[in-house]
């Protein structure tokens, strides 16, 4: 990747990481106030968890668009994109995500899928609490993985 494209990619990634941080801030605010009896805050936290996955997925799309950008099976696009970002594609790009980070992201992806399709199902406090713990694991792993990814793109 030439220097101009690399700088543009770095800027896009940093901008998206800032958006992810904003979602984390909103999520932490909701989580701090959430109690089993505060259903509106539970729903709000679930919505922010949904937003967090979307923001992280947008980061993955930025990388995919800069390199290979083809997801064949649209019915599995969220899973396939996430799995692809764990691959080191020789001659194309290094992996973006570690297997550990991807595992936590798959849990968040599953929650997001549930949330998007739970029209008549109440959002469970315990399930949201579980995801809040999950996303606290993602944050440092994602930062570490992105830093390693960007470092590996720079010429030696």
Give the start-to-end residue ranges of the domains of the chain: 3-153
Averaged over successive runs of 10 residues, the pLDDT of the chain (156 residues) comes to 90 98 96 93 95 96 84 67 92 94 96 87 92 96 97 85
Is the model's pTM score more than 0.85? Answer: yes
Please give the DSSP secondary-structure letter assigned to residue 34: -
pLDDT of residue 75: 55
What residues does 93 pair with on adjacent strands? 89
CB 104 within 8 A of CB 134: yes
Determine the Cα–Cα distance for residues 48 and 85; give it in Å rounded to an integer: 23
Instruction: Give the integer Cα–Cα distance in Å for 125 and 91.
Output: 46
Question: What is the dotted CATH code of the domain comprising 3-153?
Answer: 1.20.120.580
Helices (H), 67-124: 77-84, 99-117
Q: Looking at residue 97, what is its pLDDT?
A: 97
């Amino acid at each position: 990747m030439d220097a101009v494209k690399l700088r543009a990619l770095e800027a896009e990634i940093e901008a998206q990481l800032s958006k992810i941080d904003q979602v984390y801030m909103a999520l932490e605010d909701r989580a701090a106030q959430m109690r089993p009896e505060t259903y509106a805050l539970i729903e709000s936290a679930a919505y922010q968890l949904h937003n967090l996955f979307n923001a992280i997925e947008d980061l993955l799309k930025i990388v995919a668009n800069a390199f290979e950008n083809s997801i064949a099976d649209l019915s599995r696009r969220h899973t396939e994109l996430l799995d692809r970002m764990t691959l080191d594609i020789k001659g194309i790009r290094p992996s973006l995500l570690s297997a550990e980070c991807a595992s936590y992201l798959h849990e968040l992806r599953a929650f997001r899928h549930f949330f998007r399709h739970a029209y008549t199902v109440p959002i469970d406090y315990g399930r949201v609490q579980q995801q809040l713990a999950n996303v606290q694991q993602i944050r440092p792993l994602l930062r570490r993985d992105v830093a390693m990814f960007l470092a590996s793109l720079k010429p030696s």
